[in-house]
Amino acid sequence: MALIVHKYGGTSMGSTDRIKNVARRVAKWHDAGHRIVVVPSAMSGETNRLIGLAKEIQAQPDPRELDMIASTGEQVSVGLLSMALLAIGKKAVSYAGWQVAIKTDSAYTKARIQSIDDAKVNRDLDDGKIVIITGFQGVDDLGNIATLGRGGSDTSAVAIAAAMKADECLIFTDVDGVYTTDPRVVSEARRLKAITFEEMLELASLGSKVLQTRSVEFAGNYRVPTRVLSSLTDPMLDIEEEANSGTLISFEEDKHMEQAVISGIAFNRDEAKITVLGVPDRPGVAYHILGPVADANIEVDMIIQNQSVEGKTDFTFTVSRNDYQRAVDVLNGTKEALGAASVTGDAKVSKISVVGVGMRSHVGVASQMFRTLSEEGINIMMISTSEIKISVLIDEKYMELAVRALHKAFELEKA
């Protein structure tokens, strides 16, 4: 008897009919003898609706109060799913994150999980119940509800699977696995049967929307076998066939994986570039620029510091487009103290990344990438690399052209 965690996204929970299908699928796995914990997202569009209501009241909603509001979407989902299971004769019980309890820090809207008490859940499982737990949320030491940020239900599911030492975490979504790139941009994109945690983490952090980055971190750190598969198939599909569908995120490189130099291409439209011009080139300048940005809870991605000319340098970095204006305002407030000449930026840029464990043992990936972009007349603004990825920042208008050209250049449409 295996312990399996199911996670269902907003599209999977998008209507009462779809919730009934989720209940049938969950019941099928339970009937096969498995202990089942389910972590559903809010119904599709519900979190956006709730945040929209909050912004009608307060242009910049108070983070604590916003979490009180945004967390209710998942509470509706777990109650409806529990009722759907009860209606077909299954023993089920739903819990909000604070009832389990899932303990978090107090960084409202961006909280991080600190611990999970699984005693109550295990008692219910021993009693033959299916346990449904809200994703996306937990409770801090003061008893306040704190949400994990957008996509946090994935993180909740994997964290629960890790805490309970689950045999597998199945992420049911509206796509049937992880693709070489977004099929909406490249029609020839191919579904991967397996991918390493390292590659998935890079793809998630670089813009792939299939899984949330922190969920992949949890899965890799705690060695939680994780599979991405579709919830839009027949809910009564043979369980063995379903268990082997989708994309398996594996712990070790597949024996054939070395043949694939590049596994996927990720892209992120949500980028903005900021440059601090004419900064005195002295020790600590990077800290004095990025410290106030970090204090404003703004994440920084790519960073370049230019060569010093006559004791002055330019410092360029990227942030989320949603944080662009706040970051510029922070830097304009510290510009005089920095001794900087000016702060400039561009919110119409995109990041393209090629990812693959095969890059460790193959040369020429960077040159092929740069040659391909050059042949398409696409200028590169910034470059960053790791052992298994190369990312470039380009003009937003060339993003889809770049993805299609690189997908073809690396022959990712071939199995």
- The length of the chain is 415
Backbone phi, then psi, for 39, in 5-degree steps? -125, 100
Q: Can you give the pLDDT at residue 151?
A: 78
Residue with tokens 């390493």: 196
Backbone phi, then psi, for 318, in 5-degree steps? -115, 150
Q: Can you give the pLDDT at residue 260?
A: 66
Q: Can you give the pLDDT at residue 257?
A: 44
pTM of the model: 0.80
Question: What is the dihedral angle through the alpha carbons of 92, 93, 94, 97, rounded to the nearest 10 degrees?
Answer: -120
* DSSP state, residue 343: E
Q: Sort residue 358 into left (φ over 0), alpha (ψ -120 to 50) or beta.
A: alpha
Assign 55 to helix, strand or coil: helix
* CA distance linking residue 170 with residue 152, whole number of Å: 15
- In the chain, % helix, strand, coil (3-state, to 5) comes to 40, 25, 35
Whether residue 138 contacts residue 103, with contact meaning beta carbons closer than 8 Å, is answered with: yes
Single-letter amino acid, residue 5: V
| Residue boundaries of the structural domains of the chain | 3-175+210-252, 264-409
| pLDDT tens digits along 31-67 | 999 999 999 999 999 999 999 999 999 999 999 999 9
* DSSP state, residue 273: E
Geometric angle at alpha carbon 120, from 119 and 125, rounded to 5°: 95
Assign 178 to helix, strand or coil: coil
> Which CATH superfamily is 264-409 part of?
VC0802-like (3.30.2130.10)
Extract the residue ranges of the chain whose pLDDT is less than 70: 207-209, 252-260, 415
In terms of Cβ atoms closer than 10 Å to its own Cβ (0-12, 13-18, 19+), residue 24 is middle
Domain spanning 3-175+210-252 has what CATH number? 3.40.1160.10
Whether residue 137 contacts residue 148, with contact meaning beta carbons closer than 8 Å, is answered with: yes
* CA distance linking residue 265 with residue 207, whole number of Å: 9
